[in-house]
Amino acid sequence: MGKIGGGLLVALVFVLLWSVVKPPTPHMETSDLYTHLSVARHLIQGDGFVTDIAYPLSFAFDFARELPQPLIHRGPGYPLLLTTVVAPSPEDPAQVIKNVHRLQLLFLGSIAVVGMLSFWSRKNVLATGIWLVFLWMSPLLRFGIDWAFVELPAGLLLLLIWLRRRNVVCSSPRWIDGLLAGLLVVLRLDLFWIPLLWWLWGRMELRVVARREEKTLPSLFNRQILLALGLMVLLNFPWAVRNIQLTGDPFFSLQSQAELVKDTRTWPGYSVYQNLEPQPMIDVLSNDPVPVARKFVRGLKFYFRNLGRLFPWAGSILMALALTVYMRGGINKSPCPLRPNAEYPMTIIPDDSPLGPLVVAAMTLILMIVQYSFFDHSLRHLLVLFPLIGWELANIAGLGFASISKKWNLKAGMMMISTLLVSWVLIHFTLQPVPGWEFAAEQATKQAPSLEKKTLALKLNAGQPAFVKTSAAPWFAHKAAVWDPENETTRQSISSHFNQPEATFADSLVSAAEERTQHSVVYDGAYQSLDYPGGDVADNRGVCTDVIIRSYRALGIDLQKLVHEDMVAHFSAYPNLWNMIRPDSNIDHRRVPNLQMFFQREGAELEVTNRAADYLPGDLVTWMLPGNLPHIGIVGRRISEDGQRHLVIHNVGRGPRQEDFLFEYDITGHYRWVN
């Protein structure tokens, strides 16, 4: 089968077990994933990089005052990647979410197989089991998969870059390294410095060795590094050009206008994103650096206090024990073992020392903590380093256990089982929970049943723009919206940027019907002689059809005249339920079956469904009430208390009212008629 086939098989079994034992938890309604997915859907539709979910702060900029909005608060990489899962079912949001989980499992399997193949190439077989235990036991990795964090594919790319540097620690990067680093930056621009740090660290190690060997000192930036950097820039150049065309700044992002002051005393929580006052980094640091400094100190405390939740302290225990045993047996402490070569006086060979790379990995982790202490305090940002640091810990532990096995002359199978058991027990009993994330998962599970209501409420919302408190509803409703600023002045300011269209016929009809609810009307269906045209019973008398007739008449449309003329010309087409031998302009238009036939002949009939979203304001609906009594009403603007459907304006015996009536009885007709 070979190493690759064996690695793929083990990874497949690992992922299958994961999917069975660890079923996905619902996504948080506020997840960034929905932003990425909405962009992916627009990309497939040919709309470009636009999103259905906008922050209020974005409306402070002229180029973002529209919906859907140009993408200015996320990078392009993850939406591009997600097109692979959106494309198969772009009209089925729920299926897309399932596809996303499968994609995340694919990333997990890729991380597992990359780590295993690297161990096998180093003949460190015992590290394989420890590696898989690390992956399996990490609670944060599970959340990263369940909630589809972009950190998972970014972590895979960092692991690949790391292992390529790890294999030849002091060599220069090749074009493939530049390609991987470029893809990483497309996914997460804030990680651009990490590959560069690793490459320069390798060059500095090379200079140390060259100085010790009294060789010519190589330059820090050679042709290979410049080529790799060129590929990084090339992959990100189109996005920079797009940003220049849109904003005038190749590196513009909404985060650069808010993230530094977010969650400070001046701007608690996410309030900076809910207002229309950008906070550029340079201005903040110049004018009011104290809150930022306090936030930075608080961030350092947060990250160092919670590192044990990202990397189980058992990993440190394993590393310390294994390293002690391994070093007793001798260890190659040279960071760059060298021998002559025609291309250069020194040839780089793989480094078997676990010390040098671990120092680099630890330094990278510390620098990331410093970076994010300024901006956002969440362990998810450090999740990108979990695969490579987990790999290093497993590598050291594997080397240590191999030394023990050799010293005690243990069989390979017994040593592998012992290693797995020891690793599992140590990690299991030293693993620290992640209360904030677990609470969020519980809340997501509780809120999941209400998401359908919120989605329907957004569909029914005729406002422009619609304000929401969930990023999930715009995704499922296929409708753009703005995060609710929770401030009426800000809402009005944002709304002022949208051209409010003139009232449509449906709007005017609903307004006329709503006005009818202000009248006191006694239900009276008695036959009366009426003027023609424009005839009506007394204003304080009427039935359900009179709500319709009077609403249309307020718009200059006389249903008495229109129905009578059509019945004169096509009398046989109308139902003869009253033994009529000729049309009667006094009563014909006040009978529901006649109105139904008239609207049908006008081509206004729509499908009768049980989907509330199909019934829009201004639509006419007919029902059959108990006792075979036909009834008619107009769909209004207002939404039911449970957010599930529009109210209905009608008169069912108590005068004109607006009530939650749509699905109270069997619907017999659905019409949308404009004269």
Q: Is 413 inside any structural domain?
A: no
Residue 330 clears pLDDT 50, i.e. is over it: no
Task: Check pLDDT > 80 for residue 505.
Answer: yes
The two tokens of residue 368 are 């990331």
Average pLDDT over residues 173-191: 92
Q: Are 644 and 610 in contact (CB under 8 A)?
A: no
- Count of beta carbons in the 10 Å neighbourhood of residue 9: 12
Beta bridge partners, 649, equal 634, 658
CA distances from residue 675 to 505, 508, 592, 595, 602 in whole angstroms, order as listed: 9, 13, 18, 14, 9
Taking a C-beta distance cutoff of 8 angstroms, is the pair 547, 650 a contact? yes
User: Would you place residue 339 in the very low, low, confident or very high pLDDT band (cuts 50, 70, 90)?
Assistant: very low
Q: What's residue 666's pLDDT? A: 92
Q: Is residue 594 part of a domain?
A: yes
The span from the CA of 182 to the CA of 195, in Å, is 10
Lowest mean pLDDT among 118-122, 382-386, 514-518, 634-638: 118-122
> In this structure, is residue 370 part of a structural domain?
no
**DSSP alpha helix (H) spans, 461-579:** 472-477, 488-495, 505-516, 544-553, 559-569
- Candidate ranges 55-64, 392-401, 489-498; pick with highest mean pLDDT: 55-64
Under a CB-based contact definition with an 8 Å cutoff, are residues 52 and 481 in contact? yes
pLDDT of 475 above 90: yes
What would the pLDDT profile of 13-53 be if each residue is shown by its tens digit?
888 988 888 888 888 888 899 999 999 999 999 999 999 99
pLDDT band at 338 (very low <50, low <70, confident <90, very high): very low
- Share above pLDDT 90 across residues of the chain, in percent, rounded to a whole number: 42
Residue 276: inside a domain: no
Instruction: Inform me whether the pLDDT recorded for 455 exceeds 90.
Output: no
Q: Which residue has the higher pLDDT, 452 or 298?
A: 298
Q: Are 61 and 258 in contact (CB under 8 A)?
A: no
Q: What pLDDT does residue 641 have? A: 80
Residue 517 in any domain: the answer is: yes
Q: Is the pLDDT of residue 194 over 90?
A: yes
- Higher pLDDT, residue 247 or 207: 247
Query: For the chain, how far is it from start to end, CA to CA, in angstroms?
Result: 74
Coil, helix or strand at residue 554: coil
**Which residues are bridge partners to 630 per DSSP?**
624
pLDDT at 395: 83
Asked if pLDDT for residue 664 goes beyond 70, the answer is yes
Answer with the residue of higher pLDDT: 208 or 187: 187
- Does a structural domain hold residue 603? yes
What pLDDT, on the 0 to 100 scale, is given for residue 334? 40
Closest to 104 (Cα-Cα) out of 185, 4, 195, 18: 18
How many CB atoms neighbour CB 314 within 10 A? 24
pLDDT band for 343, please (50, 70, 90 cuts): very low
Q: What is the pLDDT of residue 96?
A: 94
pLDDT of residue 186 exceeding 60, the answer is yes
Per-residue model confidence as pLDDT tens digits over 540-563: 899 999 999 999 998 889 999 999
Query: Whole domain around residue 610: which residue ranges?
Result: 505-671
Q: Rounded distance, CA 386 to CA 141, Å?
A: 8
**Residue from 478, 625, 612 nearest 544 by CA:** 625
User: In the prediction, which pLDDT does 7 show?
Assistant: 75
**Coil, strand, or helix at residue 187?**
helix
The reply to whether 455 falls in a domain is no
Condensed to tens digits (0 to 9), the pLDDT of residues 344-367 reads 444 444 444 555 677 788 889 999
Number of residues that this document lists for the chain: 675
Mean of the pLDDT values across residues 379-408?
Answer: 80
Segment 625-633 mean pLDDT: 92
CATH assignment at residue 644: 3.90.1720
Helix (H) or strand (E) holding 668: strand 667-671
Cβ atoms of residues 126 and 402 within 8 Å:
yes
- Percent of the chain as helix, strand, coil, to the nearest 5: 60, 5, 35
Average pLDDT (503-532) is 87
Say if 341 falls within a structural domain.
no
121-135, 245-259, 504-518, range with the lowest pLDDT: 121-135
Is residue 112 within 8 Å of 132, Cβ to Cβ? yes
Number of domains in the chain: 1
Question: Long-range contacts for 221-227 (Cβ within 8 Å, ≥24 apart)?
Answer: 222/172, 223/172, 224/172, 224/173, 224/174, 225/172, 225/173, 225/199, 225/200, 227/173, 227/175, 227/178
pLDDT interval class at 668 (50, 70, 90)? very high
Averaged pLDDT of the chain? 84
Q: What is the pLDDT of residue 95?
A: 93
Calpha distance 471→527 (Å, rounded): 55
- In this prediction, residue 483 carries a pLDDT of 94
